[in-house]
């Protein structure tokens, strides 16, 4: 048995992060951002604090991740970080196998739906003391939450997120959050859990500043050649729970990217094709090198609200001025395009492609992603009709490499890069 | 009785739609029984439950939807693209899962039908807030329907419609009661045909027909190959009677179900005299025995187990659609609960259209055989 299998996720991840930071200090990759070291330090700090809280038995909650993570933190819960952990595990197959043994539809679902709860059930991640289950992301994520609640392993609080994005929906979600606060304070008050509005406002302000910084980064991505490449583009995905250190990292990243723009440094200096990548990517391979062979660069990653730092129309959907702190949490939960109408997912893709001068879209057809698969043809038709650019429908999973092989994916990416070149007259 | 049982067969399905349209009426297609038909009846619009194409080939739908997705949605889109729904004035669906939402997204994008609308149905009934929001959703929908139907809806109109639908549900629940008999008067296949027919007929006509056939049903004994084992079916979007015919022809009788075109259409908690009929509808629809997309799996399992005793069920046969996520995620929990209660059960994936008949017959036959060997509990 590998030593990493005797440690829980955080124990092995901390070792991995320390090694990674050391490697970046000793031998940095010149093609990547230097500031990534800071990101890993931030992750190390968060992982250490979660591990410590877990060992001390302090109350843990992710607050439904994108829904009320910021609120549960303001109430004194420690984030358990399960979704981020799923992205970083080195042993995905064992968790997918575990879900299979439970009779869950692993081969028909996206890996992300299956991984975090398997990690919790196997003891590699802490079980949340209270989970929020809602539909902010997609139907399978909601079903996963219901499954965990009926199994009786996690106390679960259900919050209904409507399909509509408007002021009434904000009021509705916000009222449910108020009920959640009362419930959680009653249940965990003895453990020091209490709603702290000042703390929430402080966290919201930090989030605003991080978001504003990331929107400045978006403007820098318009530069040709694009200052960063695929791996760093994927790291632009926001930090879910804001902190002072996360803000420092966002600011430093913006400065470094701005510096690259000033010096005319591009991830691919003689960039010929600018691509957008949607949804998610295969984490079991390097999907960017096959594109780089043809001077094609992934300049933008589109993945719902956290990945989409772009000022597309409709992003601010509410009309009411001066939302209360809780209403702001509700508005954020409602901003997630995955769960809403098809046009709220597709229209920003088209807008951003036009704005950034994108030459082609790699639409990742993640197996089991009910939120996006039914929209693939619409994206393809709109991209062709409105922008005259091609779309690659790339089928695959996130961690399960047995579904579509790395070689097949690389082949398809190379072919697509060549098509884009041809369409640009190269 | 034969006449009403044939109404949702492909050759008859649109008969009432054409008649209604011929009289200048409006017809709206419905997806999911979480959208209350009462609202349509109140605005003189014919609510018409959407059935997808029963043909195997969905080549046109495949252009817009991946093959490995909800079969019901794929077959409905095939019908939509073939122009089968062009006669309708609109389609309304509940956001029962994202596959259905994406189906409606494609329909809106293609603009074949002028009115495409999605109703949000809360997935939890934890709080009064959920009922209030759903009631407002229903009000918004009714405002849209008023514009289509050209008629303002009053509380009296809605109360009248609710009364009519409750009467239909009352008669259907009487049929369900009779299924508890040792020799049921109707087969499972006939019940499916009956309910799916009611869902495509004008409700006043459905009520009239039901009143006529009910005395006959009371005296009837269904023509069944076998009176045991007694099975309960769990499924959704199962509208092809061939599936239940197959189950019963293999040597069993279907005496109960947990299906949208079944018990979940028939049983609704009673009205309790709330002043606002929209709120009353919202509360009743959210409180009834939930489908797999509701966060009430524990209560759902309790209810199914209660029915097993009430209807003297020997075994549960689940026939989920292969790519129906709410069902697929709920199965492990239901299996756990049924096993814990000593209820024999099996879940077999199926397609939306009738297919893989040979394989299904073998697997269902083996399950029936195992029930016979175990010794029947009730018969």
Among the partner-chain residues B66, B123, B297, the one whose CB lies closest to the CB of A365 is B66
A297 pairs with which residues across the strands? A274
Contacts of B68 in chain A (CB under 8 A): 108, 367
For B71-83, the DSSP string reads HHHHHHHHHHHTT
- Predicted TM-score (pTM) of the model is 0.95
Please answer yes or no on whether B295 and A109 come within 8 Å at the CB atom.
no
B127 to chain A, any CB pair closer than 8 A? The answer is: yes
Write down the pLDDT at residue A400. Answer: 82
Q: Which of A102, A370, A378 sits opposite B325 (nearest CB)?
A: A370
B37 domain-assigned: yes
B348–A contact, CB cutoff 8 A: no
Q: In chain B, what residues touch A135 (CB-CB under 8 Å)?
A: 123
User: Given this model, what pLDDT does residue A240 score?
Assistant: 65
**pLDDT per residue as tens, chain B (379 positions):** 888 999 888 999 999 999 999 999 999 999 999 999 999 999 999 999 999 999 999 999 999 998 889 999 999 999 999 999 999 999 999 999 999 999 999 999 999 999 999 999 999 999 999 999 999 999 999 999 999 998 889 999 999 999 999 999 999 999 999 999 999 999 999 999 999 999 999 999 999 999 999 999 999 999 999 999 999 999 999 999 999 999 999 999 999 999 999 999 999 999 887 789 999 999 999 999 999 999 999 999 999 999 999 999 999 999 999 999 999 999 999 999 999 999 999 999 999 999 999 999 999 999 999 999 877 565 5
Residue-range definition of the domain harbouring residue B121: 11-155
Q: Is the pLDDT of residue A219 over 90?
A: yes
Partners of B129 on chain A (C-beta within 8 Å) are 172, 175-176, 179
CATH of the domain at B66: 3.40.50.11890
Residue B353's alpha-carbon distances to B52, B78, B132, B348, in angstroms, are 9, 12, 38, 15
To the nearest whole Å, the CA of B130 is away from the closest chain A CA by 8
Q: Where are the CATH 3.40.50.11900 domain residues in chain A?
A: 198-423
Q: Which residues contact A260 (CB under 8 A, 6 or more apart)?
A: A227, A228, A266
Contact between A342 and B106 using a beta-carbon 8 Å cutoff: yes
pLDDT at A307: 61
Number of structural domains (chain B) is: 1
Per-residue pLDDT, averaged over A256-285, amounts to: 95
Burial of B333-363, coded b for 16+ CB within 10 Å and e otherwise, reads bbbebbeeeebbbbbebbbbbbeeeeebeee
* Cβ atoms within 10 Å of A33's Cβ, excluding its own: 22
The pLDDT, as a whole number, for residue A238 is: 66
Is B350 within the bounds of a domain? no
The reply to whether residue A138 touches residue B330, judged by beta carbons under 8 angstroms, is: no
For residue A306, the model assigns a pLDDT of 58
Residue in A closest to B136 by C-alpha:
A168
Answer CATH for A198-423 from 3.90.1300.10, 3.40.50.11900, 1.20.120.1200, 3.40.190.10: 3.40.50.11900
Q: Whole-angstrom Cα distance, residue B275 to residue A22?
A: 69
The span from the CA of A292 to the CA of A230, in Å, is: 10
The answer to the question of residue B267 being in a domain is: no
Beta carbon pairs, A and B, within 8 Å:
127
Question: Any idea what DSSP says for residue B14?
Answer: T
Q: Is A264 left (phi over 0), alpha (psi -120 to 50) or beta?
A: left
User: Using CA atoms, how far apart are residues B98 and B69, in angstroms rounded to an integer?
Assistant: 11
- Are B99 and A139 an interchain contact pair (Cβ–Cβ within 8 Å)? yes
CB contact under 8 A, A139 and B295: no
Which chain B residue shows the shortest CA-CA distance from A145?
B295
**Quick check: A176 and B127 CB within 8 A?**
yes
Best of A67, A132, A136, A143 to substitute, by most chain B Cβ atoms within 10 angstroms, is A143
Q: Is residue B190 part of a domain?
A: no
Q: B35 lies in a domain?
A: yes
Q: Is ipTM strictly over 0.85?
A: yes
Q: Are A143 and B65 within 8 A, CB to CB?
A: no
Please answer whether residues A60 and A128 qualify as being in contact, where contact means their C-beta atoms are separated by less than 8 angstroms: yes
């Amino acid at each position: 048995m590998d030593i990493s299998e005797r440690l829980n996720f955080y124990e092995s991840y901390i070792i991995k992060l320390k090694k990674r930071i050391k490697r970046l200090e000793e031998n940095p990759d010149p093609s990547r951002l230097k500031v990534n070291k800071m990101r890993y330090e931030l992750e190390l700090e968060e992982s250490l604090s979660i591990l410590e809280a877990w060992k001390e038995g302090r109350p843990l909650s992710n607050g439904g991740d994108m829904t009320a993570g910021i609120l549960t933190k303001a109430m004194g819960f420690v984030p358990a970080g399960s979704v981020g952990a799923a992205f970083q595990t080195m042993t995905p197959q064992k968790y997918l196998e575990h879900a299979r043994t439970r009779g869950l539809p692993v081969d028909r679902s996206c890996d992300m739906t299956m991984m975090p709860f398997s990690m919790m059930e196997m003891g590699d991640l802490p079980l949340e003391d209270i989970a929020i289950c809602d539909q902010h992301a997609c139907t399978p994520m909601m079903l996963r939450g219901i499954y965990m609640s009926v199994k009786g392993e996690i106390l679960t609080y259900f919050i209904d997120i409507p399909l509509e994005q408007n002021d009434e929906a904000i009021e509705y979600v916000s009222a449910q959050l108020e009920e959640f606060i009362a419930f959680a304070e009653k249940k965990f008050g003895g453990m020091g859990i209490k709603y702290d509005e000042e703390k929430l406002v402080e966290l919201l302000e930090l989030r605003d500043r991080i978001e504003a910084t990331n929107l400045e980064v978006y403007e820098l991505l318009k530069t040709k050649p694009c200052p960063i490449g695929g791996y760093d583009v994927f790291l632009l995905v926001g930090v879910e729970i804001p902190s002072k250190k996360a803000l420092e990292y966002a600011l430093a990243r913006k400065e470094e990217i701005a510096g690259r723009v000033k010096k005319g440094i591009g991830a691919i200096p003689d960039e010929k094709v600018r691509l957008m990548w949607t949804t998610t990517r295969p984490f079991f391979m390097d999907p960017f090198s096959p594109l780089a062979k043809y001077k094609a660069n992934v300049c933008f990653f589109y993945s719902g609200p956290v990945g989409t730092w772009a000022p597309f129309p409709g992003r601010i959907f509410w009309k009411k001025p001066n939302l209360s702190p809780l209403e702001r949490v509700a508005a954020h939960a409602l901003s997630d395009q995955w769960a809403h109408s098809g046009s709220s997912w597709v229209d920003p893709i088209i807008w951003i492609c036009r704005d950034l001068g994108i030459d082609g879209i790699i639409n990742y057809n993640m197996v089991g992603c009910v939120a996006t698969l039914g929209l693939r043809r619409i994206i393809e038709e709109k991209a062709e009709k409105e922008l005259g650019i091609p779309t690659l429908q790339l089928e695959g999973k996130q961690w399960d490499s047995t579904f579509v092989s790395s070689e097949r994916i690389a082949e398809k990416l190379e072919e697509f890069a060549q098509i884009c070149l041809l369409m640009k007259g190269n | 009785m034969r006449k009403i049982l044939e109404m949702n067969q492909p050759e008859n399905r649109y008969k009432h739609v054409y008649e209604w349209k011929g009289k200048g009426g409006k017809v709206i297609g419905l997806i999911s029984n979480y959208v209350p038909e009462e609202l349509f009846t109140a605005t003189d619009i014919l609510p018409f439950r959407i059935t997808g194409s029963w043909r195997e080939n969905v080549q046109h739908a495949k252009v817009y939807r991946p093959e490995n997705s909800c079969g019901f949605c794929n077959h409905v889109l095939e019908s939509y693209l073939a122009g089968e729904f062009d006669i309708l004035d609109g389609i309304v669906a509940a956001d029962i899962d994202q596959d259905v939402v994406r189906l409606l997204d494609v329909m809106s994008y293609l603009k074949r039908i002028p009115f495409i609308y999605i109703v949000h149905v809360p997935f939890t009934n934890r709080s009064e807030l959920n009922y209030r929001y759903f009631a407002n959703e229903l009000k918004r929908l009714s405002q849209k329907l008023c514009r289509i139907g050209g008629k303002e809806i009053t509380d009296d109109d809605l109360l009248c419609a609710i009364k009519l639908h409750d009467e239909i549900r009352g008669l259907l629940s009487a049929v369900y009661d009779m299924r508890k008999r040792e020799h049921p008067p109707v087969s499972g296949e006939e019940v499916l045909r009956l309910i799916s027919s009611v869902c495509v007929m004008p409700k006043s006509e459905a009520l009239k027909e039901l009143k006529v056939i009910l005395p006959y049903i009371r005296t009837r004994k269904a023509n069944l190959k076998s009176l045991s084992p007694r099975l309960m079916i769990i499924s959704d979007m199962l509208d092809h009677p061939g599936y239940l015919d197959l189950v019963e022809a293999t040597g069993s009788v279907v005496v109960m179900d947990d299906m949208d075109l079944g018990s979940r259409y028939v049983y609704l908690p009673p009205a309790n005299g709330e002043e606002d009929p929209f709120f009353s509808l919202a509360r009743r629809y959210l409180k009834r025995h939930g489908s797999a997309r509701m966060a009430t799996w524990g209560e759902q399992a309790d209810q199914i187990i209660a029915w097993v005793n009430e209807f003297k069920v020997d075994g549960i046969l689940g026939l989920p659609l292969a790519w129906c996520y709410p069902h697929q995620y709920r199965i492990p929990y239901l299996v756990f609960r049924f096993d814990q209660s000593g209820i024999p059960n099996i879940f077999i994936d199926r397609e939306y259209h009738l297919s893989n008949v040979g394989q299904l017959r073998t697997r269902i036959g083996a399950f029936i055989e195992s029930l016979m060997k175990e010794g029947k509990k009730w018969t």
